[in-house]
Structure 1
Amino acid sequence: MSKATIEMDKASAILKLLGDKTRLTMMKLLDKHDCCVCEFVEIFKTSQPSISQHIRKLRDLGLIKEERRGQWIFYSMNKSHEHYPFVQEILKHLPNQDDKLRELEEQGTRITCC
């Protein structure tokens, strides 16, 4: 990890968010790929409002950012966030999740909104 330290309350807030399996998986995916809500709906087999709540929590803490492309919004890891090194340190210990996106591509459902 970087030499910078993180305050306990900030670390606790980040760890609380990442304590949810769905959000943790989202973060692992977003560390390498931009994704939109519809892709997460397909990956997690859950409702759009549920996915939007997870995204809102991550965005509110500044861990992810959004970019509008036409009428769609894509999300990515906010690598300029002051605590990105802390998050990256956690994520590097997790298994690669690229197979989830490959499955969407094989099913023809990757980026169905675009």
Structure 2
Amino acid sequence: MKGNITDDSIIDKIALFGKALSDPKRIEMLKMFAENKRCFEKSDGTKVENKEETPDGICVCHFVNEFDMAQSKVSYHIKILKDAGIIKETVVGKWRYYDIDFEKFNEILDLIKNVFT
């Protein structure tokens, strides 16, 4: 496949990945995921004493507070990252937590390397 960029699905994956990385807020979100940041509230709203007690990932409300951004705008950024396949979602009760999917992230990077080298 080296140097082959005629497959539409490959082109689409690379384009979605590029779109996901094209906004500074999404880069900041990915950086928080990579730094293993977590929410500090449990799904029932109680505060967490120990970071290990929280589910893996960050909820939308954490980004709303961190970036002082409307929930709808954060959800928009999350959707773009999900569509690109570089974050995953975990549902705990009514809460959704998001985290970077390193396996898929690295697969896309390898795909880009194979196409452009």
- TM-score (normalizing by structure 2): 0.60
Structure 2 Cα separation of the partners of residues 48 and 84 of structure 1: 30
Q: CA deviation at 1:16?
A: 2.7
Identity value in percent: 31
1:21 corresponds to:
24
Structure 2 gaps, min length 5: 38-56, 111-117
TM-score normalized by the length of structure 1:
0.61
Deviation, 1:20, is 0.3
Q: After TM superposition, list the pairs within 5 Å mapping 1:1-114 onto structure 2.
A: 9=11, 10-31=13-34, 32-33=36-37, 34-81=57-104, 83=106, 86=109
4+ long deviations beyond 6 Å: none
Higher Cα Rg: structure 1 or 2? Answer: 2
**How many residue pairs get matched?**
84
The answer to whether the 8 Å contact 1:65/1:75 transfers is yes
Looking at structure 1, the residues matched to 95 and 15 of structure 2 have their Cα atoms a distance apart, in angstroms, of: 32
* Unaligned stretches of 5+ residues in structure 1: 88-114
Q: Deviations over 1:57-83 (max 9, x none)?
A: 110111100001121100000122163
